[in-house]
Amino acid sequence: QVQLVESGGGLVQAGGSLRLSCVASGRTFSRCTMGWFRQAPGKERDFVAAINWSGGSTFYTDSVKGRFTISRDNAKNTVYLQMNSLKSEDTAVYYCACAADSRVVVQTHHYDYWGQGIQVTVSS
């Protein structure tokens, strides 16, 4: 069992930065592939970024490449999403998730545990 709690969201102007954190409880965090997803009002939950258990492999959706960086600290049971050059279209509720999978996976059904989500609002 893994419980996930996100923090670091809020309101920021376009062009600004935020860093999201997701702290996990449970002994299996270091074996999780960790992902960040986001869901805008009236839309489906979309993949943003993922990182494998060691941090050696990452993957991003095209719209955030070069702007967002996912990282993890297994000693702190924490995964991060550094978001730079934010745009209004980045506004959404952001979720972190754990997949009991050694691969970097992008589909929601691969993920076993989810956080409660945190709001990110980018004003233009």
Residue 121 pLDDT > 80: yes
Q: Look at residue 54 in the predicted model and tell me its pLDDT.
A: 92
* Phi-psi map region of 53: left, alpha, beta (phi>0 left; psi -120 to 50 alpha): alpha
Residue 102 pLDDT > 90: no
Give the span between the Cα atoms of 84 and 106, in whole angstroms. Answer: 21
Query: How buried is 80 (Cβ within 10 angstroms: 0-12 exposed, 13-18 middle, 19+ buried)?
Result: buried
Residue 30 pLDDT > 90: no
Q: What is the dihedral of CA 36, 14, 121, 50, to 10 degrees?
A: 0
Distance in Å from the first CA to the final CA of the chain? 40
Query: What letter would DSSP give residue 40?
Result: -
Half-sphere exposure of 101 (CA within 13 A, CB side): 19
Q: Look at residue 122 in the predicted model and tell me its pLDDT.
A: 98
